[in-house]
Structure 1
């Protein structure tokens, strides 16, 4: 399964595949995904947790003790917690973000979903998000999960990346193309 998708290759792909197969066999794919999403959000919000995960200075035991406390505090247990502890014991916790990304790709394929990265100038309303999902579903024939990032520098419009396809309808890109056209005309 991992060999079919370049996003699930290497060390992170092997770990993600093992985790996915275990979660699938235990019929807990959604619960594991939710726990990993929560851990990833904590990782994004905490500089101390990032340092714990990435720094080779911490011993495996120190990482394990700290990680156990963090997981208990967050209410993350079961397969996801055990998996994160295995990553720690094997000194692979630094790769957790890649493993989570690969796990998500496996879950999406399993559920027949696609994921689109969407960049917008300001947050979209629920109605606009639903409309975007509907349009993308009509294009792909699959349910599309959106990863929305707000970037005010695009000024307006949006940038959508879906697999190898990208549509850039941002105002910044349009203004840049007008600027280049004017320079060439001079």
Structure 2
């Protein structure tokens, strides 16, 4: 099953496992999952926050203080906030996004779900998300959890990754394939 979910390894995997175990012990799996979704959304939307997290130029104390202010502002729970504070103190914030991914993989495994990474050119509405989720469920025979990300460079369509499988129906890829074909016939 670990290969199906491409479990996160290394530093990020160890931290993700520690957070998962802590959240499970405290019966806060859903709360921590919601908090991590907030954190991931903030990282996706804020170049400044991403720079703070990824840059070794900031002192650990500065990262902790700034992160605490952001977590308080976003009403992130104590378990997640304290976890990120420890990560900052240990100078491992650069791996935060992989830790989030690892936590979600473990949660999906715990729930008997599969995780699908979905990239689209524009945000999908609730109906489209439900239809995609249902289609993936019928294809794989398991509940599927969607982690969505908007990537305007796709131009249109979507890219879905489930474990080691990938389905790419993006307009960008179709145009690139057409370009290759046209160059080959010239």
Verify same fold: TM over 0.5.
Answer: yes
Give the deviation of 1:21 after TM superposition: 0.6
CA change 1:127–1:67 in 2 (3 A) is closer
SS at match of 1:148: strand
Q: Check if 1:61 corresponds to 2:61.
A: yes
The correspondence of residues 1-186 of structure 1 with structure 2, limited to 5 A, is 6-178=6-178, 180-181=180-181, 183-185=183-185
Please tell me whether the aligned partners of residues 120 and 159 of structure 2 are also in contact (alpha carbons under 8 angstroms): yes
Give the deviation of 1:50 after TM superposition: 2.2
Give me the whole-angstrom Cα distance separating, in 1, the residues matched to 2:150 and 2:18: 33
Give the deviation of 1:70 after TM superposition: 1.9
CA change 1:148–1:96 in 2 (3 A) is closer
Give me the whole-angstrom Cα distance separating, in 1, the residues matched to 2:64 and 2:185: 63
Bigger RCO of structures 1 and 2 (CA < 8 A, at least 6 apart): 2
CA change 1:16–1:153 in 2 (3 A) is closer
Give me the whole-angstrom Cα distance separating, in 2, the residues matched to 1:153 and 1:59: 34
CA change 1:87–1:151 in 2 (3 A) is closer
Give the deviation of 1:8 after TM superposition: 2.1
Give the number of equivalent residue pairs: 186
User: Could you tell me the TM-score, scaled by structure 1's length?
Assistant: 0.83
Please tell me whether the aligned partners of residues 2 and 8 of structure 1 are also in contact (alpha carbons under 8 angstroms): no
Please tell me whether the aligned partners of residues 118 and 147 of structure 2 are also in contact (alpha carbons under 8 angstroms): yes
Structure having the higher Rg = 1
Give me the whole-angstrom Cα distance separating, in 2, the residues matched to 1:3 and 1:137: 19
Give me the whole-angstrom Cα distance separating, in 1, the residues matched to 2:171 and 2:135: 21
CA change 1:56–1:184 in 2 (3 A) is closer
Give me the whole-angstrom Cα distance separating, in 1, the residues matched to 2:119 and 2:157: 9
Give me the whole-angstrom Cα distance separating, in 2, the residues matched to 1:131 and 1:4: 23
CA RMSD of superposed structures (Å) = 2.7
